Amino acid sequence: MQNSYKRIDAHLSSLGYCTRSESKKFLNKFRVSISGVRVYDATKKAYHNDITVEDELLDPESLLILMNKPSGVICSHEDAGILIYSLLPQRWQKRNSKISTIGRLDMDTTGAILLTDDGALNHKLTSPKSEISKIYEATLAQPLRGDEAEIFLSGTLMLNGEKKPLLPAKMEILNPTLVRLEICEGRYHQVKRMFGAVGNKVLKLHRLNFGTFSIEDLNPAEYRIINYSMD
C-alpha cells in the first residue's frame, strides 16, 4: 500500500481535491489535519495516511474501480457523448495521474469494466500475456446452428485481418439465441467478430466478469473501489 511523504499541496492536487494554487484557500475553507491537528500551511510535509479532510481519510493514492457500465456510455477521454469518467466523483476526474479504463467496451456493450490511474497495473491487465478470463452474455440475431461451441473451443478460429487464431473460448448455451461466452483475450470487437465468423450477429452484449471481479451486486452506473496488490 502506498503512503508517500510530500507536501500537503502535492497530496491534494494529485488526488484532485484542488490545484496547488488553490491549496491555501482549500485549507482555509476545509479542515485539513495531520494526525488530528488542523494545518493551514500547504507547504508542510506529511505522510498520505496521516492526512484527513473534514475528518475523512484522503482518497487512496492509486485507484482500481469496478463499474457496471451502462449502455450509451463511451470509454474515452475525448469522444463526443457521455464519457464513462463523468460517472465518477468530480475530484477523481481531476486526479494526476488520470484515471483510464482497462481495455474498452463498445458504447452499446454493458457490464464489468475496470478503471485505474495506475499505469503499471493497466498495462499488466491489458497485456495478452495475462490471459485474464472475461465472461459475456450475448444475445444473437439468429438461433445457433449447433457447431459454434466446438469451433470456438478449437483454438483454430481466424478472424478477418488477424494473423493468429483465437485462443480457445468456452461457450454455454442458455437458449437458442442467448449464450454465455468465456474468453481470455481482448481483441478488437472480439465477441461480435466471433459470431460474425460463424454467420450470426450479436444484438446485445453484456460482460458479467473481468477476471475474478463480478458486477452481480452492482446496478448500471454503480461502481466500487477494489483493494488490490501488484504481487
Work out whether strand 100-101 and strand 134-140 pair parallel, antiparallel, or are unpaired. Answer: unpaired
Helix segments in 87-184, DSSP class H: 119-126, 148-154
Closest CA to 141 of 63, 78, 81, 199: 199
* Chain CA centroid to CA 180, Å: 21
Q: Catalytic site residue 106? A: yes
Residues in the chain: 231
Annotate 169-185 with b (16+ C-beta within 10 A) or e (fewer).
bebeeeeeeebebbbbe
Q: For residues 112 and 65, give the distance between their C-alpha atoms in angstroms, rounded to a whole number.
A: 10
Q: Which three cell numbers stand for residue 203?
A: 444484438
Contact 166, 181 (CB under 8 A): no
Contact 40, 75 (CB under 8 A): no
The one catalytic residue among 9, 41, 79, 106: 106
| Residue partners of 154: CB distance under 8 A and separation at least 6 | 168
Catalytically active residues, by annotation: 106
